[in-house]
Amino acid sequence: MELNEFTAKSCMSKTACEFIPKKKETLNLTETAQKLREKEVMIDIETPYLLIIKFKGKNISLFKSGKIIIKETPEEKEGKEIAKELMEKLTD
């Protein structure tokens, strides 16, 4: 997945950025969590439908659908930078 495959917008709460895949995605979160752990990304919560990640000092929700919510990040520019770095961890 690449960041340009997502639509970015401020979350309705105004304290988070949301990235929604432009096309339908289905992630295997077990494999995704393993890959992230190998890259030293901290996984707080792992379920078949949702990962809660600590990355770059932010709480991030990664859904099975590919949707990403970066909490405590109301600025879209900062959210995009964090999302891009996370995508790099997933695609390396």
Does the structure show a pLDDT above 90 at 1? no
> Which pLDDT belongs to residue 65?
94
Cα dihedral sign for 14, 84, 21, 35? Answer: negative
Nearest CA-CA partner of 8 in 82, 70, 76: 76
Average pLDDT, the chain: 88
Q: How many folded domains does the chain comprise?
A: 1
Q: Give the CATH number of the domain where residue 8 resides.
A: 3.30.310.10
Domain coverage including residue 48: 3-91
Percent of the chain that is helix, strand, coil (3-state, to 5): 30, 35, 35
Token pair 């988070």 is found at 16
- pTM score of the predicted model: 0.84
Give the tens place of pLDDT for each residue, 3-34.
666 666 666 666 888 898 888 889 999 999 99
Cβ(10)–Cβ(18) under 8 Å? yes
Q: Which of 12-16, 32-36, 60-64, 86-90 has the lowest mean pLDDT?
A: 12-16
